[in-house]
Structure 1
Amino acid sequence: MKKIIWLTILSSIFLLLSACGNDTEEKTEDKIWASIQESGEIVVGTAGTLFPASYYPEGSEELTGYDVEVAREIGKRLGVDVKFETMAFDAMLSALQSGRVDMIQAGPREASRDKFGFSEPIKYSFATMIVRADDLSGIHTLEDLKGKKAGGAATTVYSDIARKFDAEVVTYGNVTNDAYLRDVHNGRTDVVINDYYLQKLAITAFPEFNITLHPDLRFHPTTNNVVVSKEAKVLLKKIDEVIADMKEDGTLTKISGEFFGGLDVSKEPEEEVIEIEGID
């Protein structure tokens, strides 16, 4: 009889502790969303230098771009203002982790999945290369990257791809597209590996440069997602609901068309894309 009583007591304690743990977790999650509601503002980290994702049009001090306008629409539907902080891509995850910003937009990677919360994709794409137009920078396969110089940020998946195929990565700070493209043109670097849609539009802005989008190489399918703190589960759930609504009512398609020449980046591409083993 005493044994049964003690088992009942222990079970009750366990259930109480479990309930307390769940309650604490829920309060932490609610605290993040409650803080955003209280301030009436969500802070978004963005580059501000990457056409057409996040940039300042010439002669304008108004930030715009696909990522920017999607973030503004998310804020609008959440009922809060959006404040943007511009920073280098390499600084965004640390800014999110420290609480300096509430959300960014990036693709999920194995190392970051356990540390951050990722929404449903707001953009689908794949990687390709910008090379010199007259000789494709001597690159006809991914293996031809060996010994080439690839311009890029230090911690991106695109730089990881370059290193995997033994290219030397030449890193930059938070510079505009013309710095990358001019260096390929003048031979300081040989290639820029990046998102297909971004590069497709970027090269049209510099017709004087001897550069082109590689005609044959499409690799590493990617997504771009809204990223929040791992603890911000309430916020992430609300963002996912908003993204689903934006896809259903055609808002994402409309914003995409405005910045990607009528193309719809909110849907998965139909092109055959090479998977690269060991690159997440």
Structure 2
Amino acid sequence: MMKRIIAAVLLVLMFSVVFAGCGSDTAKKDGAAKKIIVGLDDNYPPMGFKDDKNEIVGFDIDLAKEASKRLGREVEFKAIDWSSKEAELKSGRIDVLWNGLDITDKRKENILFSDPYMDNKQLIFIPVGSVIKGDADLKGKVVGTQSGSSAEEYIDGNDTFKSSMKEVKKYSDYISAFMDLENGRLEAIIADEITGRYYMSKHPDKFIALEAPVGPVSSFGIGFRKDDQALRDEVQKVMDDMKTDGTSGKISEKWFGKNIIK
């Protein structure tokens, strides 16, 4: 009798192990092993852009790769129309917006954000020799910015400031705007400090950044679908770990020359 009981117990344990293994495999397929598709503007150096080999590189790219590696997931970077980023996220064509995305109250209505990981501010960039000294000097000037950017939101939200300028030209990316600034088709650009300073470093002695910020200082965050709390929390956990162990600081030093992680 005792032998039969022991045999029955062993049989139950064996099936429990088998089913537990199946459950684990299913979880990997449906959860942790699922590819993360990151939506980005692939012409936004140094956050995410194509290098000379046509490969997507950048500060946020390195962060996303390291985070995905720690989560045991593959990551795919998908170039999108940045002005339609919220629609791309909501549709499910991408899982994450990770590309120098400012956290704003307006965006919070449609996007679930991570904790801030970097501060950002909008600066005025001018060519060397310009007489512009601040935002008051933009009156009557042709000024450029990027469509879908925080700078555009600030300009469009301040009618007096916007109407004081002769024209506000909007570009699909800041690189095109800086090319027009260099060629005299613009008199100034209002742009993210990080992007502008990176572009300046590649074109020394051509541009000046005015130190006084235009509008409020903002912070970058990673954007998720409103109903994707689980993915948000997973990514936030590894981001916290990367900050604690110094990995994100090293990535920052690689791209900016110093650790500017919050």
Per the TM superposition, whether the score is higher than 0.5 is yes
Q: How does 1:38-53 map to 2 (within 5 A)?
A: 40-53=34-47
Checking the alignment, whether the CA contact within 8 Å between 1:104 and 1:226 is kept in structure 2 is yes
Give the Å deviation of 1:34: 8.2
Cα distance in 2 for residues equivalent to 1:36 and 1:158: 39
Which amino acid in 2 is paired with 1:88? D
Structure 2 CA distance for partners of 1:176 and 1:184, relative to 1, 3 Å: closer
The question of 1:195 aligning with 2:192 is answered yes
Contact 1:132 1:190 in 2 (8 A): yes
The structural deviation recorded for 1:176 is 6.2
Segment drifting more, 84-93 vs 158-167: 158-167
1:263 equivalenced with 2:258 (yes/no): yes
The one-letter amino acid of 2:152's match is S
Offset of 1:38 from its aligned partner? 7.0
How well do the aligned residues superpose, as a CA RMSD in angstroms? Answer: 2.2
* Deviation (angstroms), 1:39: 6.0
Aligned residue number for residue 239 of structure 2: 243
Which secondary structure state, in structure 1, belongs to the residue aligned with residue 217 of structure 2? strand
* Residue identity in the other structure for 2:90: Q
Match of 1:155, SS? coil
1:141 & 1:221 partners in 2: Cα distance? 16
How much does 1:196 deviate?
Answer: 1.5
Post-superposition offset of 1:218? 2.6
Match 2:123 to one of 102, 109, 128: 128
Letter in 2 for 1:47: D
Post-superposition CA distance 1:132-174 (Å, at most 9, x none): 2102xx432222223322222233220233342223321222x
**Aligned sequence identity (%):** 25
Task: Could you tell me which runs of 5 or more consecutive residues in structure 2 were left unpaired when the two chains were aligned.
Answer: 1-26
Structure 2 Cα separation of the partners of residues 132 and 101 of structure 1: 37
Match of 1:228 in 2: 224
Bigger CA drift: 119-128 or 224-233? Answer: 119-128
- TM-score (normalizing by structure 2): 0.79
Runs of 4+ in 1 over 4 A off after TM superposition: 33-36
TM-superposition CA deviations, 1:37-85 (whole Å, max 9, x none):
2762000001111221111222x13211001111111211211100010
Further displaced range: 158-167 or 61-70: 158-167
Which sections of structure 1, spanning at least 5 residues, go unmatched?
1-32, 268-280
**Greater C-alpha radius of gyration:** 2
> Retained in 2: the 8 A contact 1:45–1:87?
yes
Q: Distance in 2 between matches of 1:176 and 1:158?
A: 11
Which amino acid in structure 1 is aligned with residue 170 of structure 2? T
1:159-206 deviations in whole A, cap 9, x for unaligned?
233342223321222x461x2112112221122212212211211212
SS of corresponding position for 1:151: strand
